[in-house]
Amino acid sequence: MFFFRRFLGAVALCCLGLSAAPARAQQGDPSFNLVNRSGRLIFEVYASLATDQDWGRDRLGDKALPNGRSFTLRLPQGPCVWDLRVVYERAGGPSEDKRNINLCAVTEVVFEGRQTGQAPAPQQRPQPAPPQRGTRSGPTGNPSFNLVNQSRVTVMEAYVSLSTEQEWGPDRLGNDTVTPGQNFAIRLPEGPCLHDVRFVYENGQADERRRVNLCDVTNLILPLPRQ
């Protein structure tokens, strides 16, 4: 059983495109080399602890990472499990995420452009249109709902915010995920009904809808219907 579990762990690392290093404790040095084998230009790099809700700053700064090149990412010693995101070509371009990586156990993380999605820059949202004069703020009630995953992919993140707000706010799933066929109750305070929703799948793709009247919704079923 011990050797079988070690074999499964090695297979998981290969699937992520990670180069294995001697195993270290969950507290250690998470610094690593990020390798671009995507055939594209990497424009932005983000790294944040898996427990954080924000991606933080772009680690590349004013630089860009061409295909075939690597970039040494120095991270502070401490927790080992991190989430990574790269953005290709330009700000707001296709992105690729790798989540819950034990960076203390690897020396390289390879991005090959296999899991990409078109997404805004992390934690940024388009400015909402200003309300027209004479219009009401919208209906009020109980916007809580059940998230029902009828897709074939696990939901990793769920964001729900008032349509009048400019930030997505916290991931409503926290440390949970919603596997195919599973439900998850998202509780919201009574008040305005119109919300924007965003759901991020395990493959990096995202579903978004704007100005959803959640007071009229009991079960919000994924994937969302195309508009």
CATH number of domain containing 197: 2.60.40.2890
pLDDT for position 38? 87
pLDDT of residue 92 exceeding 50, the answer is: yes
Q: Is residue 32 part of a domain?
A: yes
Q: Is residue 227 part of a domain?
A: no
CA distance 44 to 188: 33
Structure tokens at 157: 């993140």
Distance of CA 114 to the CA centre of its chain: 15
pLDDT for position 153? 93
Same domain, 179 and 85: no
Confidence bin at 49 (pLDDT 50/70/90): very high
Same domain, 43 and 113: yes
Same domain, 210 and 161: yes
Structure tokens at 131: 């309300």
Same domain, 32 and 82: yes
CA distance 215 to 190: 9
Number of neighbouring beta carbons within 10 Å of residue 4: 8
- The structural domain count of the chain equals 2
What digits encode the pLDDT tens for the residues 154-207?
999 999 999 888 888 888 998 899 999 999 999 888 889 999 999 999 988 888
Predicted structure pTM score: 0.43
Structure tokens at 166: 């400019």
